[in-house]
Structure formats: structure tokens, C-alpha cells
Structure 1
Amino acid sequence: MRFVFSPLALARFIMIHRPDIVHLNTSMDRKAYWRDLAYLFVAKLLNVKVVNQVHGGPMPQEFFAGHAVLIWLLRRALYASDAVSVLSSKEYEAYTAFCPGALIVRIPNAIDPAELLGDIAAPDAHRPLRLIYIGRIIREKGLFEVLEAMAQLQRSGRKLHLDIAGGGPAEKELRSSVLQLGLDDVVHFHGPVFGAAKTRLWRETDVLVFPTYHPEGLPYALLEAMAAGTPAITCPVAAIPDVMQDGVHGFFVPPRDADTIAGAIAALDNDRAMLDRMARASRARVLEKFTVERLARDFSELYGAVLGRRA
């Protein structure tokens, strides 16, 4: 019912308020694609400019692979947009190759870091390293491999603590894995967290473990962690390599590789001075490139370019 009636609601809104631009915040997901295709059609039918902001998912060449008509339709939809905004360098290359001549821009996600900017405390080598994961609990985020890595390290006598905040379809299985691996005394589930509770977790932790092989866009959890001075152990997927540099802001690990995750955790546990350097470099990186002020400037410039094309 939403698919049927929300385009009509959009049409009514446009006719009443006469906006200059409709900004579609979409992803390369089948449900989102067909919904936003209807919105695009409505906006163009009513002669309104459209900015199509894509948040992750498969590259356009892969989205309808093997279906020539659907590929043609996707390309027509992207050309019909007055601008397409993507998150990563890889997406920018893919979209410009898929739609030569279209206005494609790269505008990464950003955050307001104000609540995360407390002092970065020097890591205490005499207490267990504190790990954290914040996000949706699905297998593709690499959490099961994190547990395997922790079990390896615990068997070797290393002391660690992991906080998991969030929920999702794999939570029940993940909790069972914690029990099976004997990690129930060092892994703490918090459920979904927001506001001050989430800020407190970021400030109390040392390392974000996020070895995702999910088709990400640019994870807000990574930006928040870095702003809080929390280096990351993650996979170089989607826009993540545009944000952090391996060995400077944390470590890159291959997907589904518990052994390498264990090695990265051990390296940071052994060298707390390196952990401190990465924490400070991470915060500096976010403050330089990934604040909402930069995001506002980027979209202001893009909207101006789109409206300038009208003249």
C-alpha cells in the first residue's frame, strides 16, 4: 500500500509546495530501487529536478546482471536524475563508466562529532583491551569471525572484553556461539543503543571490530568510532578505504579471516603506544574530512550546480 500511495502523496506535496529539487535517498536494493523509481517518475513528470543519493549496494553493472531490459531501465533512471551522488571512489568510477556524461559526484557520509570529542585517554596496558561492535547483527558483518579470534586469543592467555550493541536476525545464533566458545564472561550484549548510552560506550572502548563483508556504503559506526578516538579493525570494502588507511587509523583484514583478526587485535594489545597514535590520527581524519559542515557545503554546491543547469 505504501508503494501504491506514497508516490501520490509525493505528487500532492510537489504540487502544493513547488520544491526546486527532490532529493532521493536510496540504495541499490530491489525494494528501494522500485520505490524510488516511482518517486523519480513523479518528480520528472512534474518538472522538478532530482538528486539521487545512492547509499551502497551492488555496483550498477552488477545490479541487474544478465537482464538487458532492466539494465537499460536502470541506466535510463540514472540519466533522468539531474545528479547522482555516491559515497566511495569505487562507486564513482563504476557509475561514471555505467552512465558516461551524467553528473556523478562523490559525497561521503558525515557525522556531528561534538558529543564524541572528550579527551583521548592514554591506553592502560595493565587492563584488558576493550573491543566494541555497534551495528546490525548479521553474519556478513564479521562478528562470528571476531568471536573465533577472541577464543583463539583467550586460549593463549590474553585478556579481552567485547561489547556488542545492536540487534538483528543473527543475534540468537551469535549468543549461542558466545556460550559455545566459552566467552560469556567477556562478551556483553547491550541491545540497540542511542544518544548518551552510545556515546558512553564509544568513550569507554579501545578498538572497533568491524570486519564486514556486507555491501556497505560508508558505515556511520566507523566515522563515530574514529571521532571518538577508536581505531578500527575492518575490511577494505565499499567506501571504507576512502576513510581510513591501513596501519594509520587501524588495520585492514581479509573477509572471513579469524586468524588475521586475532593477529590485529594482538598487535594493538601488545603495543598500546601504537593504539594511542592510531586513536589520535583517527579523530584528526574525521574532523578534517567527515563532519556535517563539510557535508552541507558539498550538497549546497551540488544543489547549486543542479539548479544552474536549469538556466
Structure 2
Amino acid sequence: MTTVMLLGPALNAVSGVTTHLNQLFSCSLSRDFQLVHFQVGSEGRQESRLRKLLRFAWSPVQFVRALRVHQPQIVHINTSMEVKSYWRDLVYLLLAKAMGKRVLYQVHGGALPQVFFGGKGLLTGLLRRVLRLPDALVLLAQCELLGYRRFDAALAPEVIPNAIDAGMDAGAKPLAPLRPLSLVYVGRLADSKGLFELVEAMRLVRGAGVAATLALVGSGPADGALRERVAALGLQQEVTFLGQKFGAEKDAAWRDADLFGFPTHHEGLPYALLESMAARTPALVCPVGAIPDVMQDGVHGVFVPPRNAQALADAIVRLDGDRALLQRMGQACRERIERHYTVERLAQDFRRVYRTLLAPPAI
């Protein structure tokens, strides 16, 4: 059986790439290929600064040893166009190619290559050469595909979107026009997710005489500042902090909500959006990254411009008055996931790419 080595974070870490890896290991792809994991990055590790430096130095040696032990025909590198990830994973890319491996280089979001090094010619030229090294280049979004092609016409990337285990369909959510509109946010509590604008929108909604609630599920660097802002605005009754939720508790958070508040400033293809759509929870979201690939404005949710609390508030007030629209969008969300974003579709896509990499070159 062909062996594929997948590089990425610890399989018990909380990250989008970890979710992706676990999906590949648990789906039907693992019946056709021997999948082995090589851990890179700091996610899922508890280590001191010294231990981190030692790991940086020792990890390439461990990688070469793992290649010799497992003898994979394909090395599947999961990286992103972020500075730390790029330089770290460049080492693994060069080593894998030096040892004659076929390399699939999957980019999980980040900056487009033409702006990655801020216009620095020498480094941008190096990046162009690096992106030509892999035998296959996989992206998450159509907008990224266009950007990479503009950056270098010699590149031949393809798009394989993220997927989700949609689970059992609990059916349509009941119409409840008399209760306050319930919003939920699930994910990392960070300023870049637009959460301060979302909290400000809750203040504006209250000022418009509309009752709505917001539950924040997750943790992150903005936790303390968000709590202070909620208290300063007197929104403790409207905005609650639920901490991290997993499994059935997270599923319940989706099911109990009418709307996913997600005015993120920049994004790849967020798993939280796929989860919300699978749970029939339409999104109030900014059309950034791969989000317009996944959902259509007015069909699966509502698009708002980034960093615009008033636009968020206006949309919340409008949707509060049209619960039937929310129910229709929820149905459309579920259908969209079932048709295009299942784990089995993900397995089929990577099965095809792996087999293409293994095929003998055309004469």
C-alpha cells in the first residue's frame, strides 16, 4: 500500500489544520493509502522557550529519520502563507525533495504570494521558486487560485475546499418570532474576528428597541478586553461568555442559535462557517477569503462590510423581523453542505491528487 506522510500540528491540538488532518485519517482515504503523521509546529505542545529552540533544531533530523523509517512515496505538507509557517515548512519541503519524494504542498490561507514579502524583490523571487518546487499545489479558495495564477503563470494550483462531517440532520429549526433573536459566535476570541464590532452592534440593536442576545463560545487573546467592553456598554445581560465547547455542547450551541455572528476581517475557509451551515444556522459574515465560495448573500446568510458595526446592527434588526427568511436560509445552508462540503468529497479529491502524483510521467 502506498504510504503518505502528512505534516501538521498535533492531532489533539485545537486548530483548523488539525481538524483537516483528523478528517483525512478517519475518512475512506485511509483505506486506500497508508497515512502516517509527522508533527510540526507548536500547536498541542506545552514547552519552554528553550525546548522550542531545541525542537526547531532537532525536528529536521527527526523528519529525515521518519522518511527513512516509513518510506513514504508522497509527503503532504500542510502550511500557510504566514511568516513562521513558511520558513519552518520550507525546510521540510527542501528535505523531502532532496530525498526524492513526491510533495503535495497545501496552503491553508494566509497572504497571497504577491504581497507576502511586502514587495521585496529578492524574497518574492525566492518565493516564486519555492512554489514551483512541489509536485502539487493545493489551495482552499477560488480567490486564492486567481491570485496565485497572477503571481506566476507557471504554477498549476488547484482548489480543494475544506469539508465537514455534517452528522445527522436534526431538521428545520422552529420559528420563534416572540423570543429574542439569538446570535452565537464560535471560535477564537481575537480582534481580527470582528468581535468588537459585533459587540458594538449589539449596543446599537438595543438602542433600536430590538431584543437580541449573543453567546461567545471559545477563548483567545481578546477575551479580557471583550469582557471589559461588554461591561462598559452595560451589555452583560445581552452578551454571555461560554468558554470553549466541544462535541455535543458545541452542537447544542449551534442548534440553539438563530444566527452565526462572524464579521471576520480576513479568513481562509473557516470550519466554523461549515459547522454553522450544517446546523442550519445562517451566518452574518464579511465576504472575505473563501467565504463567497461557500455561501451566497441572501441565500445562506447575509454579507456585511468589514469593520462596520452599523451594518451589522441593521442586518440583525432586519433578520429579527423576518424569522421565516432565517428558516429558509437554514435549509439552504444544510443543502449546500450536503452537496459540496462532505468529508467523502474531501476523500475523493485527495485520492485523485495522490493517484495523479503516483502516475508515471507522460512521455
TM-score (structure 1 length as normaliser): 0.97
- Does residue 218 of structure 2 align to residue 166 of structure 1? yes
SS at match of 1:54: strand
- Contact persistence 1:79–1:99 (CA under 8 A): no
Unaligned runs of 5+ in 2: 1-53
Shift of 1:145: 0.7
Letter in 1 for 2:238: V
What CA distance in whole angstroms lies between the structure 2 residues aligned with 1:205 and 1:29? 33
Shift of 1:100: 2.1
What CA distance in whole angstroms lies between the structure 2 residues aligned with 1:293 and 1:219? 18
Which of 219-228 and 196-205 deviates more? 196-205
- Does residue 74 of structure 2 align to residue 74 of structure 1? no
Question: Which residue number corresponds to residue 190 of structure 2?
Answer: 138
What CA distance in whole angstroms lies between the structure 2 residues aligned with 1:263 and 1:183? 18
| Number of residue pairs aligned between Structure 1 and Structure 2 | 309
2:91 pairs with 30, 38, 42, which one? Answer: 38
Letter in 1 for 2:309: A
2:66 pairs with 13, 25, 28, which one? Answer: 13
- 1:233-272 superposed Cα distances (whole Å, 9 cap, x missing partner): 0000000000000011110000110111011111111001
Give the 5 Å matches for 1:216-231. 216-231=267-282
- 1:92-134 superposed Cα distances (whole Å, 9 cap, x missing partner): 011122232333110011110115x212222200111110001
Which of 148-157 and 203-212 deviates more? 148-157
- 1:191-234 superposed Cα distances (whole Å, 9 cap, x missing partner): 111111111111111100000103x1100000000000000000
What CA distance in whole angstroms lies between the structure 2 residues aligned with 1:261 and 1:220? 22
Give the 5 Å matches for 1:124-135. 124-135=176-187
Question: Which residue number corresponds to residue 258 of structure 2?
Answer: 206
- 1:159-212 superposed Cα distances (whole Å, 9 cap, x missing partner): 111110111111111001111111101211111111111111111111000001
What CA distance in whole angstroms lies between the structure 2 residues aligned with 1:143 and 1:102? 37
Letter in 2 for 1:110: A
Shift of 1:43: 0.3
Unaligned runs of 5+ in 1: none
SS at match of 1:27: strand
Letter in 1 for 2:101: V
SS at match of 2:185: strand
Give the 5 Å matches for 1:1-311. 1-114=54-167, 117-214=169-266, 216-310=267-361
Question: Which residue number corresponds to residue 31 of structure 2?
Answer: none
SS at match of 2:276: helix
Shift of 1:309: 5.0
Q: Where do 4+ consecutive residues of structure 1 move more than 3 Å?
A: none
What CA distance in whole angstroms lies between the structure 2 residues aligned with 1:139 and 1:39? 32
TM-score (structure 2 length as normaliser): 0.83
- Contact persistence 1:89–1:239 (CA under 8 A): yes
- Contact persistence 1:109–1:290 (CA under 8 A): yes
Which of 31-40 and 151-160 deviates more? 151-160
- 1:133-165 superposed Cα distances (whole Å, 9 cap, x missing partner): 011111111111111111111122211111101
- Contact persistence 2:283–2:302 (CA under 8 A): yes
What CA distance in whole angstroms lies between the structure 2 residues aligned with 1:104 and 1:89? 10
